Chain A
Amino acid sequence: MTETIRKRPPRRKTQERLVQAVLFFCAAVSVFTTLGIVGVLLFETIEFFREVPLWSFLTDTQWTPLFSDKHFGILPLACGTFLTAAIAIAVAMPVGLLTAVFLSEYAGDRLRGTVKPVLEILAGIPTVVYGYFALLFVTPLLQRFIPGMAGFNALSPGIVMGIMIIPMISSLSEDAMYAVPQNLREAAQALGASRLQTAFGVVVPSAFSGIAASFLLAVSRAIGETMIVAIAAGQQPRLTLDPTHPVETMTAYIVQVSLGDTPTGTIEYKTIFAVGMALFLATLVLNLLSHGLRERFSEKYG
């Protein structure tokens, strides 16, 4: 009897197992690294809260762990983070959304094909460049219009951070709007809607969950942004909502301590883990919310 289908060569099975093992190892490295980071963060945070009660961490209005009179209230740092992020979103949200509307509803295919990649280059500029841009260009410019504004302030890095996250909002929102079925636009236009009315009356509401997801992701990015605020916002933890004053964000504080010569194991050292944990939780919640919204959006039109 002749065999038409050849038998499997004996070595192949071991080869395939080996390949599978290597691939699994590569995947496992990133998962375990993440778990390791969260583990260290958690461990040091628990250590921190052995010395500082959670209540004073959350309610004390001063943050002075590097001074002799130590206070561990996260509020000034959270306030600085909130202020710069809010300014960034105030800049990025309208500009990003309008850019997305333009690209999705007005621009032709060729223009969209050119503008979108160019916008995404904005996202590729190193943030340290944005930081110096804020400190050396935007701040002096703003000082001409706002007399008495400090050289380090929340406004300038907030605005620059907003510019940085515009592409994120416009690109993700545009994806969401572009995915709105064409027949909804036709329905609106058949009812006598103009292009503008179609865009804001039908397309934007229909893509709402996708657009909201892009906003949340942008907020999360703004909260986690480090370099711009470390360079241009100053390093003075101050409980204020006045954008002309220097502030310190959570991220900038972590930079400040990490770059200094704080000995391992001291309370100053542990503070950065507690702050890091707060930051991690905030961005995690935002990212999860954003993810959930995007799932809901793709359920509707997927």
Chain B
Amino acid sequence: MTPATVETQEELTQAFAIQGLNSWYGSFHALKGVSMTIPEKRVTAIIGPSGCGKSTLIRCLNRINDLIPGFRVEGQIAFKGQNLYDPALDPIQVRLQIGMVFQKPNPFPKSIYDNVAFGPRLCGEKDRSKLDAIVEESLRKAALWGEVKEKLKQSALALSGGQQQRLCIARTLAVGPEVLLLDEPCSALDPIATAKIEELLMDLKKSYTVVLVTHNMQQAARASDYTGFMLLGELVEFALTAKIFTNPTNSRTEAYITGRFG
């Protein structure tokens, strides 16, 4: 199929350029010839029904799927011009540049402080005052500092679901990535916690490229600048969010967003 391109009035820098991406879990063909460009410092949403490959797609963007036995990928993903699947590349360095937040809040069973400091410590940061500064800055960026500054030593598992998810965002920001991948980050949260995360995304896109997978169409409409619609492993349509939701080109997109299936 023809690569989806974004019709846009603004001049955007590309963060990711995906070309003819195919991937398999064992013999299951999960992504079928996906091509798209993801712009820098915008929120790009990927929507589609369960099993359409949207999670697989963003899990390819930081090579976290390398860890799944039997997973295979073909095609190209360039991040700022560099091929992510270049065998000479260190996947750990890829993941430090391209952070990820998962569906279910997954803080480590450690203190709030140790959760945020986990990444910087792995990178060899031992200086206490520097760590303190990173932890505070990351928690501020994730709009959690005010709620937890008095109890940094407490277990992260004692936080509410929404707070845990913001902690996971803070933990990801602490290693200083350029991209934030969010895989259905609000599907386990209530509407109020969801609203807080969405508000946070608006703020984060000023400094980060955000890719948001969601099965909640309203969320994509509210929180994203660009939206891609996927179905059965294919990218059906990719355009400005406003266009996708008001005037989709493809009849399958229209059927999905008007609720005729999915």
Contact partner, B95, options A181, A183, A191, Cβ 8 Å: A191
Residues of B within 8 A of A185 (CB): 67
Is the beta-carbon distance between A187 and B122 smaller than 8 angstroms? no
Chain B residues within 8 Å of A184, by CB: 106, 108
Question: Bound complex: CA of A81 vs CA of B175, how far in Å?
Answer: 50
Q: Which of B92, B95, B102, B109 has the most CB of A within 10 A?
A: B109
Say which one of A85-93, A113-121, A199-207, A260-268 lies at the interface with B. Answer: A199-207
- Least CB distance from B243 to A in Å reads 32
Q: A183-B102, A183-B106, A205-B110 are in contact. Are A191 and B119 (CB under 8 A)?
A: yes
Taking A108-B69, A202-B108 as contacts, is the C-beta distance between A191 and B118 under 8 angstroms?
A: yes
- In chain B, positions 90-112 with a C-beta closer than 8 Å to chain A are 92-93, 95-96, 99-100, 102-104, 106, 108-110
A300 to chain B: closest residue by CB: B109
Q: Which residues of B contact A181 (CB under 8 A)?
A: 106
The CA-CA distance from A79 to B109 in the complex, in Å, is: 38
Tally B residues with Cβ within 8 Å of A.
26
**B88 touches A (CB below 8 Å):** no
Q: How near does chain B come to A195, taking the closest CB pair, in angstroms? A: 9
Which of A108, A186, A192, A197 interacts with B96 by CB under 8 Å?
A: A192
* Those of A186-218 within 8 Å (CB) of chain B: 186-194, 197, 201-202, 205-206
- Output the least CB separation between B13 and chain A (Å): 24
| Count of chain A residues with a beta carbon within 8 Å of a chain B beta carbon | 20
* CB within 8 Å of A: which B190-207 residues: none
A201 to B108 Cα, complex, angstroms: 10
- The residue on B at minimum CB distance from A184 is B106
Indicate which residue in B93, B106, B123, B157 contacts A187 across the interface (CB closer than 8 Å).
B106
In the complex, what residues of A have CB within 8 A of residue B92's CB?
192-194
Residues of B within 8 A of A191 (CB): 95-96, 99, 118-119, 122, 171-172, 175
Give the CA-CA distance A191 to B171 in the complex, in Å.
Answer: 8
Interface check B62, CB cutoff 8 A = yes
Whether A192 contacts B67 by the Cβ 8 Å rule is no
Q: Choose one: B62, B108, B109; the contact of A190 (CB below 8 Å).
A: B62
Q: Assess whether B257 is interfacial by the CB under 8 Å rule.
A: no
- Which of chain B's residues have a CB closer than 8 A to the CB of A192? 92-93, 95-96, 119, 122-123, 175
Q: Closest Cβ of chain B: how far from A174's Cβ, in Å?
A: 18
Establish whether residues A186 and B67, one from each chain, have CB atoms under 8 Å apart when the complex forms. yes
Q: How far is the CA of A178 from the CA of B141 in the complex (A)?
A: 34
Interface residues of B in 164-209 (CB under 8 A from A): 168, 171-172, 175
Q: Closest approach, in angstroms, between the C-beta of A210 and any C-beta of chain B?
A: 12
B59-109 residues with Cβ-Cβ distance < 8 A to A are 62, 64, 67, 69, 92-93, 95-96, 99-100, 102-104, 106, 108-109
Report the separation of the CA atoms of residues A192 and B95 in the bound assembly, to the nearest whole angstrom: 6
- Quick one: closest A residue to B94, CB to CB? A192
CB <8 Å contact, A187 and B108: yes
A193 touching B102, Cβ below 8 Å: no
Whose C-beta in chain A lies nearest to the C-beta of B96?
A: A192
A183→B119 contact, CB < 8 A: no
Please state if B69 and A190 are interface contacts (CB–CB under 8 Å). Answer: no
Question: Smallest distance from the beta carbon of B120 to chain A beta carbons, Å?
Answer: 9
- How far does the alpha carbon of A115 sit from the alpha carbon of B188 in the complex, in Å? 38
Would you call A186 and B108 a contact (CB within 8 A)? no
With A181-B106, A205-B109 given, is the CB distance from A188 to B118 under 8 Å? yes
Q: How far is the CA of A258 from the CA of B93 in the complex (A)?
A: 66
Q: Nearest residue in A to B92 (C-beta to C-beta)?
A: A192
Q: What is the bound-complex CA distance between A300 and B108, given in angstroms?
A: 12
CB distance from B170 to the nearest CB of A (A): 12
Within 8 Å CB of B122, what residues of A?
Answer: 191-193, 197, 201
Taking the nearest CB of chain A, how far is it from the CB of B141, in angstroms?
16
* A189 neighbours in B (Cβ, 8 Å): 64, 67, 95
Measured CB to CB, the closest approach of chain B to A186, in angstroms, equals 6
A189 to B92, CA, bound (A): 8
Residues on the A chain within 8 Å of B168, using CB: 187
Closest residue on chain B to residue A183 by CB atoms: B106
A187-B109 in contact given A192-B122, A192-B175, A201-B122 (Cβ < 8 Å): no
Chain B residues lying within 8 Å of A206, measured Cβ to Cβ, are 108-109
**Contacts from B to A (Cβ < 8 Å):** 62, 64, 67, 69, 92-93, 95-96, 99-100, 102-104, 106, 108-110, 118-119, 122-123, 157, 168, 171-172, 175
26 contacts between A and B (CB under 8 A): A183-B102, A183-B103, A184-B108, A185-B67, A186-B67, A186-B100, A187-B106, A187-B168, A187-B171, A188-B108, A189-B64, A189-B67, A189-B95, A190-B95, A190-B99, A190-B100, A190-B102, A191-B99, A191-B119, A191-B172, A192-B119, A201-B122, A202-B108, A205-B108, A205-B109, A205-B110
Which residues of A line the B interface, CB within 8 A?
108, 181, 183-194, 197, 201-202, 205-206, 300
What 4 A-B pairs have minimum CB-CB distances, sorted nearest first? A191-B119, A190-B100, A183-B106, A192-B96
Given A108-B69, A201-B122, 14 additional A-B pairs, CB 8 A:
A184-B106, A187-B168, A188-B118, A190-B99, A191-B171, A191-B172, A192-B95, A193-B118, A197-B122, A201-B118, A205-B108, A206-B108, A300-B109, A300-B157
